[in-house]
Chains A and B, each alone.
Chain A
Amino acid sequence: MEPTVVAESLTKRFGSLVAVDDLSFALAPGTITGFLGPNGAGKTTTLRMLLGLAKPSGGSALVFGRPYAALDDSALRVGAVLEATDFHPGRSGRDHLRTLSRAAGLPDSRADEVLRLVELDGAAHRRVKGYSLGMRQRLGLAAALLGDPELLILDEPANGLDPEGVRWLRDFLRAFAAGKKTVLISSHVLAEVAQTVDQVLIINRGKLVVETSLEQLTARVSGSVRVRTPERSKLQDALMRERIETTAVNEQGLLVHGVGTERVGDVAFAAGVPIHELVAEGSSLEDIFLELTAEPQT
């Protein structure tokens, strides 16, 4: 099947700064891809080039086989959110969506549909100035969904969301991609997207560091966290609620997989479980990410 998005030797220079450096990747239809890298790695610049907002200094970015600006029905095939704050503060959420749906040739009723979809129908007529950051994120998402797109591109969608919002977004994206649709979401925190994505593209300083499935990346996680606690089963329950995998070792001992010591300690603290020992064994997913994106040693 033809890839939905293809970047080929994509490069962007700002003066002497190379923000995106010879970046190549392809996204298969029906996949959720996490686009990861530390702040300033070139993620947003790459997305802007994919979406026709910035011109590449070299290489090409194709969406459905064409440059975005040459797509005749871009609004009906691609939905994107680059900034969570792209609204006129004095315009209501519904009016914001209506201005975009009109330009896309869609009826106003479509604005009401997407407002219900992101559960903002209660605030539809309020001016955006009174929206919380989480509501703005959802309004941006609603705008991206107006044209019922096949490809969704979101830049740091989890920024500013509370844990419940992150969970909502995760469930939403899962349901969206289940319909054979493609999603590209960027983040500077692997943990934010680790439970959502099928594959990851990790970039650093504008260059592709690794392109792999999440499974393969997880397989690189060799270790786990060893915990000793008098309330083992209580901690195990608390970790399970956070969807963290554990293995009981003995009456007081527990092995926790895929997360760092900080996370385990936080969960234990929140659950009121006393910890007698907390040791990292091997490396976590986050360690691998940090390792891959670390500054090169000189």
Chain B
Amino acid sequence: MIDQARAELLKIRTTRTTIGIVLGMVALILLFSLLSGLLTKAPDLTSTEDQRGLLSVGSLAGVFSALAGIMLVTSEYRHGTIRPTFLVTPRRSRVVYAKLAAGLLAGIVFGVVGEGLGFAIGYACLAGRNIDYVLNGGQTALLVLGTLAGVALWGALGVGIGMAVRNQVGAIIGLLAWGFVAENLLFAFVPSVGRFAPTHASDALIGLTTKHLLPAAAGGAVLLAWTIAFAIAATALAARRDVA
């Protein structure tokens, strides 16, 4: 298992795909943090909720860590490397566990970079504009650590999604369509259900207090449950389906 996980981490590091995803993440977080940190009127940046919004831009990293997780699986099916992978490790559950672990670890790195960047820029904007920082220690810790945990889980969730869908384009479009469109509609129209969906569970986990969101701990538990559910499905599907 350790050998397989090391192999998966090496796969992540040896193509330019990962660099591309990281650069995309950095660019987007840089852009959004600077725009909202510099262009939002000062009175709209004074409340706890305002500042939490500004400093949580880094949680966008979750999308990118999910993409990295998806790529870790679907690029193997796309380029056929899944065949040698399964030939070397014919117990496919080991491959899936290794990819989940690698997705989680990559997710932690994405989280550190993304949240570090977003928080630093947001904080610098507040300081530079002489706006008092109003989040207390507990709120700050929840924001930072919750983002880190959420982004890491999305890495593993991406692996699960990739294994379930296998088709690269399908998995990526599915992720974006669900995360940015379907889930928002669900939350808007049926919040009692929508708040249990994964991106809204992530929002809850970092301490956002939008109406209808779950409490932070429950949000974290729900996101973890989604990850485990996808991991179980991924393991079962990988073992059952023939490889072309």
Contact = CB atoms under 8 A, between A and B. Distances in A.
A and B are partners in one complex rather than unrelated chains: yes
Contact of B80 (A54, A86, A104): A86
Contact of B87 (A51, A55, A102): A51
A207 interface: no
B90 A71 contact: yes
A85 interface: yes
Given A88-B81, A143-B84, A48 B10 contact: no
Interface residues of B, number: 27
B141 interface: no
A103 B89 contact: yes
Contacts of A143: 84
Interface stretch (A75-83, A176-184, A217-225, A260-268): A75-83
Interface in A159-199: none
A103 B80 contact: no
A83 B80 contact: yes
Interface string B82-93: 011111111110
B129 interface: no
A212 interface: no
A54 B7 contact: no
Give the top 3 A-B pairs by smallest Cβ distance, nearest first: A86-B80, A103-B7, A102-B7
30 contacts: A48-B243, A51-B87, A52-B90, A53-B86, A53-B87, A55-B242, A74-B87, A75-B87, A75-B88, A75-B89, A78-B87, A86-B79, A86-B80, A86-B83, A86-B84, A87-B80, A88-B81, A90-B16, A90-B17, A95-B14, A96-B81, A99-B7, A100-B88, A102-B3, A103-B3, A103-B4, A103-B88, A104-B88, A104-B89, A143-B84
Interface of A: 48, 51-55, 68-71, 74-75, 78, 80, 82-83, 85-92, 95-96, 98-100, 102-105, 143, 146-147
Interface of B: 3-4, 6-7, 10-11, 14-17, 75, 79-81, 83-92, 98, 242-243
